[in-house]
Amino acid sequence: MPTDTSIPNRLPSVGCDRLSHRNPLVYSLGVWYFRLKRRLQWWRQKEPFAQKRQDSPLGYRVHRHSSLLIRKLGDSDPQLQHNKIINLDIAVRHITGVIIRPGEMFSFCRLVGKPTRKRGFVEGLQLSRGKAISGIGGGICQIANLIHWLALHSPLTVIERSQHSYDPFPDEGRVIPFGTGASIFYNYVDYRLRNDTPHSFQLRLWLTEKTLEGELRCDHELPHKYRVKEKNHAFLKIDGKFYRRNEIWQYKTLKCRSEVEDEKLTTRNFALVKYEPAEYVEINPTTHESITSTGHDKL
């Protein structure tokens, strides 16, 4: 039987194994410490942050994407998704139109700020320690997800990106590969981009009745185009638990040619799955050899 060499030595897990997860006081002190540490990093940072915004779009579209505002996410409370739209609307107004000039850094948390009730944010759906819970500002990660997908189709450099170490819901309504999102927790779990090109870029975001829309624009027409592809996807069952793995690759080609000029592995994902997938491969935890397979997921 084939051996899967892509399984990490330490499998991902979620739960209350950390002291900060078991003790609310330790957790609060930890959040305070990391937020203070991030503010010091902002103060010391040499690269200027992108802050200028303009209503008129830059001349050339690099990429556009949309995502549904409401999706079936397991047995989570649907009202939290409706509340999420309020949070998205507030966050969008702080980002849309921002210009990322050469050498500048885009920071999601710097632009959106801390989600609070005073600023109009409400209880929305957010993910924490492997569970879907309610939290002030919940759901704004959807904007970070969309921005990251736009960035993958551009020459912008991803400086900071975090993601959850688990897959909480089945793929109902998913249109982009698993593992291409970005998690946000003010202010030390951020999403940051740097513009290492000689051109200026612009993020434009807006809401429709059913979707969150976004596009990345540039002040010059770029000679290259970018596409993103998922490789080596599979659901695995190891020692009674389910996991999901894949790889996200970026391909760069000249617009006037079809040959790939450059390819880059951007992300290798291996996440704990919080539901039982319909198709999976069972793996021996000691030898990493496949034991059985269901459906079409075969190594």
pLDDT digits (tens, 9 = 90+) for 184-205: 999 889 999 999 999 999 999 9
Q: What is the pLDDT of residues 47-98, one digit of tens each?
A: 899 999 999 999 999 999 999 998 766 666 778 888 999 999 999 999 999 9
Q: What is the pLDDT of residues 117-133, one digit of tens each?
A: 999 999 998 877 667 78
Contact (CB, 8 A) for 125 and 138: yes
Lowest mean pLDDT among 27-41, 72-86, 218-232: 72-86
Q: What is the pLDDT of residues 237-283, one digit of tens each?
A: 999 999 999 999 999 999 988 889 999 999 999 999 988 998 999 99
- What pLDDT shows up at residue 277? 93
- What pLDDT shows up at residue 201? 98
- What pLDDT shows up at residue 226? 96
For residue 111, which phi and psi values (nearest 5 degrees)? -80, -45
Higher-confidence residue of 26 and 244: namely: 244
Domain segments of the chain: what residues? 16-45, 47-222, 226-299
- What pLDDT shows up at residue 75? 66
- What pLDDT shows up at residue 170? 84
Distances (CA, A) of 164 to 31, 145, 185, 245, 275: 17, 12, 12, 13, 15
Residue matched to tokens 């990490």: 8
Spatial distance between the Cα atoms of 123 and 125, rounded to a whole number of angstroms: 7
Residues 6+ apart with CB under 8 A from 186: 35, 109, 112, 113, 114, 115, 137
Lowest mean pLDDT among 31-35, 117-121, 288-292, 294-298: 294-298
Higher-confidence residue of 171 and 49: namely: 49
pLDDT band of 296, cuts 50, 70, 90? low
Higher-confidence residue of 4 and 214: namely: 214
Question: Computed over its alpha carbons, how large is the radius of gyration of the chain?
Answer: 20
Q: What is the pLDDT of residues 98-116, one digit of tens each?
A: 999 999 999 999 999 999 9
- What pLDDT shows up at residue 295? 59
Spatial distance between the Cα atoms of 47 and 218, rounded to a whole number of angstroms: 20
Contact (CB, 8 A) for 244 and 227: no
Q: Evaluate if residue 1 carries a pLDDT over 50.
A: no
- What pLDDT shows up at residue 165? 76
CA 30 to chain centre: 23
Contact (CB, 8 A) for 193 and 119: no
